[in-house]
Structure 1
Amino acid sequence: MKIATFNIENLDESSDELNPVLHKRIKPLRDMLLRIDADILCLQEVHGQELPEHTSRDPKRELSALETLILDTPYTHFHTAYTVTSDEVPYDKRNLVILSRWPIIQLNQYKHDHLEKLEYRKSTAIPAEEAKDISWERPILHVQIDVPEVGNVHVINLHLKSRLSSNVKGQKENNYTWKSAAGWAEGYFLSSIKRVGQALETRVLIDEIFADTPDANIVVCGDFNAEPGEVPVEAICGRVENTGNPELRHTVMLPCSLAIADSVRFSHLHHGQRNLLDHMLISQSMYGKFAQAQIFNENLHDESLPFASDTKFPESDHAPFVATFRQY
C-alpha cells in the first residue's frame, strides 16, 4: 500500500502572466502522479472551476482541471473526497483532495469544529480596528478508508497557513511591499497563530479518534508549512518527550521522514535552503506496517530564485512525499 501527499500548486484551468496554462502543466504533473503510483493520494492546492450557470448567490463549481490531469491514468477510477464550501461545492481556490483506490466509507471536514475562533485586535492597523475573529483559511479533510487486510484507516489531509504575513489594513503599499516592519511582523504573527491553531485542532481530532479506538490506524499528511521540530509539527506528533506522560505513548504520531536520509530529506527549496514542509505522520498501529518513505525531489526547482516576478514553473514547487506500507 502506497500513500502519498503532494502540494500540486495552484492547479487550475485559467492562467496569467505568472501561472502557466494547464496544457503545459499536464505532462510533467501527470508523469509525477504516475511515478508516485499511490493507492491513496492526498493533494493540496486543487482549484475549483466555475460552471456556466455559476452565480454569486448560487455557486456552481467542479474540479475539472483535476479531472483533465488524471484522465487516462489509474486515478481516473479512484474514489474521491474533497473540501466544500457551505454551499456544498468545491472552493474556488486551494481545495484539499483525497483519491483512494479503495472505498471511502466516511468523509468529514473541520474548521473550528474542535477549536473556537480567536478574537484579536490588530495593533498596527490603519485606521485602528475593533477586535475581529481569526479563522483558518482551509478546512481539515478527514476520511476513513476500508483497506484490504488492514481495515479502517483514518486519513487526514492538511494545508496549514503559509509563512507569508497575513494582511494588516493600511500597512501595505502593494502585494509585495509593507509600509512598516511592525506591520509585517504583526501579519507574520497572525499567520503563525493560524498555522499553530489549525495544528492544535488537528491534534484534538486525533485525540478524539484515539479515545474511541486506542489502536486506530491514522495517517496525517499534507503541507504543514513548518519544519520538523517547529510547533505545528510537534503539536500534531504529541511526543512523550513533550507531554511527559508515558501513558500517552499510544497516541504519539510518528514522522515517516525520519526513515529518509538527511541529505535528501526536503520537499521545498527557497533561496537555496532545503526545507521539509510536507509531512506524513502515522500512528503506532501503522508503524508495524511501515516499510519505507521517499521524497521525489530530483526535479524540484528553487521557487524563489529564478524569477523575481514569481513566475511559476509547469511543475509544482513542492515535491511529493510517498510512504509504503505492508498490508499484512
Structure 2
Amino acid sequence: MKTLPDNPNLDHLRRQAKDLLTGLRDIRPDATLADAQASLAEQYGFRTWTDLKAEADRRRGHAEVADPALARRIAGRFGLGDVVGEMRSVSRPDEMGRRWLLQTGRGRWAPRTVDDVYPVTDGEDNARFQEAAARAGVTLPAPVRSVSGAVVEVIDGSQWRVYEWLRSGPPLAAPVSATVTGKVGDMLATLHGLRVPVDGTCPWSSVRLASSSWPELAEVAAAEGAGWAPVLAAAVPTLAELESVGNRAAPAAAVLCHNNVSPGNVRVGPDGRLILTGWEHADGLPPAWELAAALVSWAVIPAGGSTPRGRGLWPTVIGRGPAACHR
C-alpha cells in the first residue's frame, strides 16, 4: 500500500491520477479521471478520492523538523555546505529508516537513515553500482560520499546516507502506460547489461521465510473461524503447485540488481526521463528473478487483473542484447 508523504502535495496527487488514467485507458479505453482517482485512493488505503484529498489537506505542513545541530553535523560530515534552512522529514519511517530534505548554500540534498537495511551493507558496492548505472544512462539521485570518502556515516547513533535532490514528479502508480513500461524495460536491460559481479544471491529473495505450509495455514484460518478461510482452502492446491514452480530449476548466475524496481521507486523528471530511486536494497539476483518481480509490480493491476504482456516491459527487456540472460 502506498503511503502519503509527510507534507502531501495535492498537485502531485492530481498528477498521479492523470498518469494513472493514461495506464487505465490502455486497458479500458472508456476509463475516466474519476476511475483513476478512485483507484489511486484505494492504493493509498482510502475509500474515496474525497477521503484521500481530505487526509492530504489535514497532513499538509506537518513534516517534522530535525534538530538544527543534527542538520549541521550531517552537512559537515558529507561536505554539503552551510545549512540555510530547516531539515524536514519527507515521509514516515520505512523498513530502513527515514528520508529527509536538507537545503544548504550548495543546493538541496536528500539524507536518509539506513539503520535496518537487510542484508547489512556499508553501501560501498551499492554506491559503485549506482555510479556505474548513471554512467550507462540511468537517471538517479547521485549518492554523496562523506568528506572521508565513506558512503555511510554514523551520526548521533544512526547510520546516514545522502543523495543529491532531483526535481521530479510524484512516484508512479500502476497501471502505467505502455510508453512508461517500455522505458522501465530499458532501465532493467541497462542495469542487467552492466553484469556487475556479486558474491551470491540476496538471502531475502532466495530463502523462504515462512515456516508453515499452505495446508497448515488453511487449517489455522479455519480453526480461527476466519471468514476467508474457505477461499484459502479452495486455493491451497493451486498455491502449493505455484510454490513448487522452479524447485528443480538451476538459476542463472547472480549479478548486482536494483532489487526493487517498482512504481513507488520511479518518478518522472522535468524532461520526461524516468528517475530510479530506492537503491538501498541492491543485491545479487539472477536477472530473470528481478524481471519477474518487475512484471508483477508493473503489469498487475492493484485492484485485480493484469495488463497484456506487461504492456511493453517484457518484450523490451528480452529484446535487447545486454538482457539476453532473460531468454
Q: What TM-score do you get using the length of structure 2 for normalisation?
A: 0.27
Which protein has the larger Cα radius of gyration, Structure 1 or Structure 2? 2
Q: Comparing both structures, which one devotes a greater share of its residues to helix?
A: 2
Q: Comparing both structures, which one devotes a greater share of its residues to strand?
A: 1
